[in-house]
Amino acid sequence: MLYRFRSRADSDLFMNQDPAERILGIIGKVAASQGIIEPADMPRAIAALQAAVEEEEQRARAAPQAQGGVRSQSITLRQRAWPFVQLLKRSLDADTPVVWGV
């Protein structure tokens, strides 16, 4: 499934199911075919994503020592969440919700 996040403040953001559902889980939203993030909820959502990114990066800094110095080349949460955070920030500035599945 492909998620399409929409806001009047920015262009549409498309995400594959797994990364989208991970991000929705981090911000406390149910991964459903439809949903909304109200402007009042956006500061908390942005903070939750930033905290999750920092936590993942702290684990990644410790992991090379445990794995003999080998780092993974996978896409990080920071890379996945950045466009979503930007969408939330622009929507918050415009006082408009972010919706999906509508």
Residue at 62 is within a domain = no
The total domain count for the chain is: 1
Describe the crossing of helices 77-94 and 17-26 by its angle, rounded to 10 degrees: 60
Residue at 37 is within a domain = yes
Residue at 1 is within a domain = yes
Residue at 49 is within a domain = yes
Q: Tell me which residue range forms the domain holding 88.
A: 1-6+15-54+76-102
Instruction: Give the other-Cβ count within 10 Å of 20's Cβ.
Output: 21
DSSP classification of residue 33: S
Q: What percent of the chain has pLDDT over 90?
A: 79
Instruction: Give the other-Cβ count within 10 Å of 48's Cβ.
Output: 16
Residue at 35 is within a domain = yes
Residue at 70 is within a domain = no
- Tens digit of each residue's pLDDT (9 = 90 or more) over 10-60: 999 999 999 999 999 999 999 999 999 999 999 999 999 999 999 999 988
Residue at 59 is within a domain = no
pLDDT at 102 exceeding the cut of 90? no
Residue at 67 is within a domain = no
Banded pLDDT at 63 (limits 50, 70, 90)? confident
